[in-house]
Structure 1
Amino acid sequence: MNQTIVLASASPRRSELLESAGIAFRVLPADICEDPFPGEEPVDHVLRLAEGKARAASEKTDGRFFLGADTIVLCDGEIMGKPKDHDDAFRMLKKLSGVPHEVVTGFAIYDRERDGAVIEAVRTKVYFKQLRDEEIEAYIATGCPFDKAGAYAIQGGAAHMVQKIDGSYTNVVGLPLCEVVEQLRVMGALPQ
């Protein structure tokens, strides 16, 4: 039985993670507004966006299972999405310097046949070393921060900035792979 999985994301990192688990899928990015609602809690925000992306993709193509995800960085109550420009990236990295923060990824798997979704948020605590301004500038100059929540990629040039993590590494990359694979199995999208 072909249970087509559609990844509602243009993120190459999410695709790489699913490929690393041997999961067959196709990509159909969902274009939805990602602005937070006034007063919306951070976890509610990522869960809403993840489900919104999965459902939006399901309206554009065939398939049964649709996987949406959204990742944010939380530091001192601020939701850090993707930086707008150089100054925003510098501000974010300076704020993360030397303090722990949380990476929260919400994911949703929408099953069109059952017209229902499993929605979950995974949290990982990340500890950055104290960063020098020159390190931040050098990292920004690579261009890496601009399409990443919190202006960094743990799997890339920012790996040397991270002292330790508590929780899922793949969550920090952008998709909590262990939890996603388990839910896909439970829902029947993957063999038991």
Structure 2
Amino acid sequence: MLAKKLKNYNIILASGSPRRQSLLKDLDINFSVKLKSIEEIYPDTLKAAEITDYLAELKSKPYLEELSDNDILITSDTIVWLNNEALGKPKNYDEAFKMLNSMSNTHHEVITSVCICIGMKKKTIISDTVKVFFKELKEEEIDYYIKEYKPFDKAGAYGIQEWIGKIGIDRIEGSYFTVMGFPVHKLYKELEKL
């Protein structure tokens, strides 16, 4: 299938996220992981998917000069969008608590963008938005989750695949995998075009 089509390409995933690595592996694609640190700063005029599009592309820039024509670089970014505001990764317990408490008994959007660079000649950015509905979360549930799962590496301070997702999410409208941080259905479709 897709793995056969891509056998002449060198796929590089520029992400330290174990979830993204696992989801890409689940597509039966061979890839390597390369990491470079980058400051994730974006203009404050950007809204919603504009932010993740911008950051996914920004993350690709340190690699571009190293790419050959048969390299495919994949970078990605995810945010939680609530009340016209982007929730990134919490810096500490208090930030995580505030984020989760603000999502209690309401819905928010999770937006993930992926930037695909084929060598230096072609760049495509795709994004996907999912609505997530949380039940009313008790303060002790939020406290337990933060202390046990330490979600400081996750946008919006939660992982849908973790305890809080299992007990707290009523429903989602869209792809579960986009909420995990990778819209694999859209990525697969894009890579199939090659």
Structure 1 pair 5–76 and aligned structure 2 pair: CA distance change class (3 A): same
What residue identity is the alignment partner of 2:117? Y
What residue identity is the alignment partner of 1:2? N
Q: Over aligned residue pairs, what C-alpha RMSD do you find?
A: 1.4
Matched-pair contact (CA < 8 Å) for 1:30–1:54: no
Instruction: Name 1:6's counterpart in structure 2.
Output: 12
How many equivalent pairs are there? Answer: 186
What residue identity is the alignment partner of 2:71? R
- Work out the CA distance in 2 between the residues paired with 1:8 and 1:60: 13
Matched-pair contact (CA < 8 Å) for 2:60–2:74: yes
Matched-pair contact (CA < 8 Å) for 1:55–1:110: no
Tell me the percent identity. Answer: 38
Matched-pair contact (CA < 8 Å) for 1:74–1:104: yes
Instruction: Name 1:78's counterpart in structure 2.
Output: 85
- Work out the CA distance in 2 between the residues paired with 1:30 and 1:69: 13
Matched-pair contact (CA < 8 Å) for 1:7–1:28: yes
What residue identity is the alignment partner of 1:181? Y
| Structure 2 residue corresponding to 1:27, chosen from 9, 13, 33 | 33
Q: Is the deviation greater in 35-44 or in 157-166?
A: 35-44
Quick check: 1:106 aligned with 2:116? Answer: no
Instruction: Name 2:139's counterpart in structure 1.
Output: 133
- Work out the CA distance in 2 between the residues paired with 1:13 and 1:152: 13
Unaligned runs of 5+ in 2: 1-6
- Work out the CA distance in 2 between the residues paired with 1:28 and 1:81: 22
Q: TM-score, normalised by structure 2?
A: 0.91
Deviations 1:6-58 (A, max 9, x none): 00111000000011111111111232221221212221111111112223233
Unaligned runs of 5+ in 1: none
Structure 1 runs of 4+ with >6 Å offset:
none
Quick check: 1:51 aligned with 2:85? Answer: no
